[in-house]
C-alpha cells in the first residue's frame, strides 16, 4: 500500500465539511447566475468580437464592443467576463462586465498553450486550463502575472498530454476535466477520462484513491468529457457531459459528488437523448435542456427529464450545425446561439417548457458562438452602489440556516415588493413592500412564513418587483 501524499483524504474531507456551506456561496448555480445581461461572443472563425445583451424584453443589445480571438470561448465570474483565446491566440482577455464592457486587461498564457477555461479562487488568484500543455497555469487575473504551475503530467496518455479542458470550483477544491484523447489517432477517445482535483489552499493534486498506486483522479463513466462543468446548488453536485466518440451513442451525463470525490454514473444517456450530447443545463426540477448533434451534424435543443431518463420535448430542430451553446438564468430564461447562415442570432426560450420568447433570432452581425451570463457581484463587507436599474444580488449565505441576507438596489425612491415564494410559486412571506430611500437596502430572512412559523428545508425563490412590472428573482436553499 502506498503512502498518502499531503493531507489524508479523511482530514481533507473533514476540512471541506466544516466550510461546505460557505463554499457553496461562491459556486456556480444549477440554473445559471441571477443575470441581468449576457456577453455574447460572435465569430466566423476569421473575425470575432463580443457584444452585450439585456436578458429581458426588448432584449437591448450593444453589438461589436470589442474585437477578440476568432477561436475563443467566454466565461463570467462576478463583475468580470473572460475571453479565452484558444488555438493560435493563447491569451486571456478581461472585460469589465459591471461597467461599459471595455477590455481591462489582456495577458498571454504562453505560445502554443491553447487556454480552454478559467476559474477564480480569489480576485487575485485564478486557474487556467491549457489544452496543449501538461500543467495548469496559476495567475493573477488582475495583472496577468503568473503565480506558478500545477503539473498534470501524471494523467497524460500516450501522446504526452492529458487534454485539460473545463473546470469548476467548489469551495477549496478545483475540479478539472481531462479528456485524455489520443492525438496520434486524430484525437480519438480511446483512453479513460478522469477529473483531476486540486486543493487550492496548497495548489497540490488531491489523491482521491490513496490505496492505489500513483496519484489518482476521479474516473468517469464515459470518455471525452465535453462542455462546461457546472455545480448544482440544490443537489450539491457537479454535473457534466461525456460525449465519447462522435456519431456513436456511447456517452451521457453524470453527477460528481464533490465530497465523496466520486462519479455516480450516467443519469441520462446519449441513446435515450437521441444524439451526441454537446452541451446541457439542468433546471431546478427534474428537467434539463440539451444541445444534441445527430450523425449528419444537425443540432437540436431538447428538453429532457433526468429523473426518469426520458426525453420530454423537442424545443428546436435545425438543419446543419447551428446550436453551439445553451445557458439558463435563474428566472428560467434560456438563451441559445443559432449560427444559421441566413439569420444567425441568439434565440430566447422560457423554462420549464419550450416557449420561444423571441419571434426571430436576435442578430449580432456575425454568428454567435458562445454566451456568458453576467451576475452583478457585491462584496458582503461593502454597501451596494446606488443603481439606476433593478438588481437583486445573491443571498448570503446560501444554502443557509437559520438566516440569510438579501441585498437589492432600485432606482432611487422606487416602490418595490420583495417576497418569498415556494417552488410551486405560492407566496410564503412578504419581506418588503415600500419605497427604498437611497436606492439600496438589505433585509434578513430567517426562513419563516408570513405567520412567523419555521418553513421546512427546501428551495425558495426571492422575487423583487416594481409597480411597473419589472422583476428580478434569486433562488435560495434552506437547510434545517
Domains of the chain: 9-267+363-374 (2.120.10.30), 391-478 (2.60.40.1930)
Q: Residue for cell digits 445559471?
A: 32
Element (H, E) at 414: none
Q: What is the C-alpha to C-alpha distance for residues 380 and 194, in angstroms, rounded to an integer?
A: 36
Q: Where would I find the beta strands (DSSP E) of 294-412?
A: 299-305, 310-317, 323-328, 333-338, 345-350, 355-356, 368-374, 391-392, 404-409
CA distance 346 to 323: 10
DSSP 386: P
Residue segments in the chain with a per-residue pLDDT below the cut of 70: 1-35, 234, 375-389, 412, 469
Residue 311: Cβ within 10 Å count: 17
Q: What is the pLDDT of residue 269?
A: 96
Instruction: Provide CB contacts within 8 A for 176, sequence distance 6+.
Output: 129, 136, 152, 164, 165, 166, 167, 195, 196, 197, 198
Interior/surface letters 216-239, b for 16+ CB within 10 angstroms, e for the rest: bbbebbbbbbbbbbbbbbbebbbb
46, with CB counted inside 10 A (0-12, 13-18, 19+), is exposed
Residues in the chain: 480
Quote the distance between the C-alpha of residue 295 and its chain's center. Answer: 28
Burial class (CB in 10 A: 0-12, 13-18, 19+), 148: exposed
Q: HSE, CB side, 13 Å, CA atoms: give it for residue 464.
A: 27
> Which alpha helices (H) appear in 372-473, and where do they start and end?
none
Largest distance between two CA atoms of the chain = 67
Cβ 313 vs Cβ 352: under 8 Å: no
Query: Which residues are CB-contacts of 133 (< 8 A; sequence separation ≥ 6)?
Result: 110, 113, 114, 161, 164
**Alpha helices for 198-338 (secondary structure H):** 270-273
Task: Report in angstroms the alpha-carbon separations of 208 from 12, 215, 218, 237, 439.
Answer: 10, 8, 7, 16, 49
For residue 18, the surrounding DSSP H or E stretch is: helix 9-18
Residue 440 near residue 479, CB atoms below 8 Å: no
Q: Give me the pLDDT at residue 372, please.
A: 96
257 CB neighbour count, 10 Å cutoff: 14
Measured in whole angstroms, the distance separating CA 457 from the mean position of its chain's CA atoms is 25
Strand partners, 400: 478
Q: Given this model, what pLDDT does residue 470 score? A: 75
CB-based contact 291:349 (threshold 8 Å):
no
Instruction: Give me the pLDDT at residue 126, please.
Output: 97
With cell 483512453, the residue in question is 191
Counting other chains too, the contacts that 334-341 makes at CB distance below 8 Å and 24 or more residues apart are: 334/281, 334/289, 335/38, 335/53, 335/55, 335/371, 335/373, 336/291, 336/301, 337/40, 337/367, 337/368, 337/369, 337/370, 337/371, 338/367, 338/368, 339/367, 339/368, 339/369, 340/367
Tens of pLDDT, residue by residue over 396-431, are: 888 899 999 998 888 767 889 999 998 778 899 999
Total Cβ atoms within 10 A of residue 25: 17
DSSP-derived 3-state class of residue 202: coil
The string over 439-448, giving b where at least 16 C-beta atoms fall within 10 Å of a residue's C-beta and e elsewhere, is bbbeeebebe
pLDDT of residue 388: 47
Phi-psi bin for 417: left (phi > 0), alpha (psi -120 to 50), beta? beta
Contact call for residues 51 and 67 (beta carbons, < 8 A): no
Q: What pLDDT score does 375 carry? A: 64
Could you tell me the three cell numbers for 202? 496548497
- C-alpha distance from residue 11 to each of 8, 15, 121, 259 (Å): 5, 6, 21, 12
What's the CA gap between 368 and 300, in Å, rounded? 16
Amino acid at each position: 500500500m502506498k503512502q498518502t501524499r499531503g493531507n489524508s483524504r479523511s482530514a481533507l474531507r473533514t476540512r471541506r465539511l466544516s466550510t461546505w456551506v460557505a463554499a457553496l456561496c461562491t459556486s456556480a448555480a444549477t440554473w445559471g447566475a441571477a443575470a441581468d445581461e449576457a456577453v455574447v461572443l460572435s465569430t466566423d472563425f476569421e473575425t470575432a468580437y463580443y457584444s452585450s445583451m439585456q436578458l429581458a424584453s426588448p432584449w437591448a443589445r450593444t453589438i461589436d464592443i470589442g474585437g477578440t480571438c476568432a477561436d475563443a470561448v467566454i466565461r463570467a465570474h462576478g463583475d468580470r467576463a473572460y475571453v479565452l483565446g484558444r488555438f493560435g491566440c493563447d491569451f486571456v482577455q478581461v472585460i469589465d462586465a459591471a461597467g461599459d464592457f471595455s477590455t481591462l486587461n489582456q495577458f498571454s498564457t504562453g505560445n502554443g498553450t491553447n487556454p480552454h477555461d478559467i476559474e477564480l479562487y480569489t480576485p487575485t488568484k485564478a486557474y487556467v486550463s491549457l489544452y496543449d500543455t501538461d500543467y495548469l497555469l496559476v495567475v493573477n487575473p488582475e495583472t496577468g502575472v503568473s503565480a506558478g504551475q500545477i503539473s498534470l503530467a501524471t494523467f497524460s496518455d500516450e501522446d504526452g498530454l492529458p487534454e485539460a479542458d473545463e473546470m469548476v470550483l467548489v469551495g477549496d477544491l478545483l475540479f478539472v476535466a481531462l479528456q485524455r484523447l489520443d492525438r496520434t489517432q486524430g484525437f480519438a477517445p480511446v483512453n479513460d477520462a478522469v477529473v483531476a482535483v486540486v486543493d487550492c489552499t496548497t495548489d497540490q493534486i488531491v489523491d482521491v484513491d490513496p490505496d492505489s498506486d500513483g496519484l489518482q483522479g476521479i474516473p468517469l463513466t464515459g470518455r471525452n468529457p465535453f462542455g462546461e462543468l457546472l455545480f448544482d446548488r440544490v443537489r450539491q453536485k457537479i454535473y457534466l457531459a461525456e460525449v465519447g466518440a462522435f456519431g456513436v451513442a456511447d456517452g451521457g451525463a453524470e453527477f460528481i459528488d464533490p465530497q465523496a470525490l466520486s462519479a455516480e454514473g450516467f443519469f441520462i444517456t446519449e441513446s435515450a437523448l437521441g444524439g451526441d450530447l454537446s452541451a446541457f443545463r439542468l433546471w431546478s426540477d427534474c428537467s434539463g435542456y440539451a444541445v444534441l448533434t445527430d450523425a449528419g451534424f444537425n443540432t437540436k435543443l431538447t428538453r429532457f427529464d433526468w429523473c426518469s431518463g426520458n426525453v420530454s420535448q423537442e424545443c428546436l430542430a435545425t438543419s446543419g450545425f447551428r446550436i453551439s451553446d445553451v445557458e439558463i438564468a435563474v428566472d428560467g430564461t434560456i438563451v441559445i446561439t443559432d449560427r444559421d447562415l441566413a439569420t444567425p442570432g441568439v434565440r430566447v426560450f422560457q423554462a420549464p417548457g419550450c416557449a420561444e420568447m423571441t419571434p426571430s433570432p436576435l442578430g449580432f452581425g456575425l454568428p454567435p458562438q458562445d454566451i456568458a451570463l453576467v451576475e452583478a457581484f457585491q462584496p458582503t463587507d461593502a454597501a451596494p452602489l446606488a443603481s439606476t436599474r433593478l438588481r437583486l444580488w445573491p443571498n448570503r449565505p446560501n444554502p443557509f440556516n437559520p438566516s440569510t441576507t438579501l441585498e437589492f438596489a432600485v432606482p432611487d425612491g422606487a416602490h418595490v415588493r420583495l417576497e418569498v415564494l415556494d417552488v410551486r410559486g405560492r407566496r410564503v412571506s412578504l419581506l418588503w413592500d415600500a419605497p427604498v430611500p437611497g436606492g439600496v437596502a438589505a433585509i434578513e430572512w430567517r426562513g419563516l412564513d408570513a405567520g412567523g412559523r419555521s418553513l421546512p428545508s427546501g428551495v425558495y425563490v426571492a422575487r423583487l418587483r416594481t409597480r411597473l412590472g419589472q422583476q428580478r428573482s434569486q433562488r435560495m436553499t434552506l437547510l434545517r
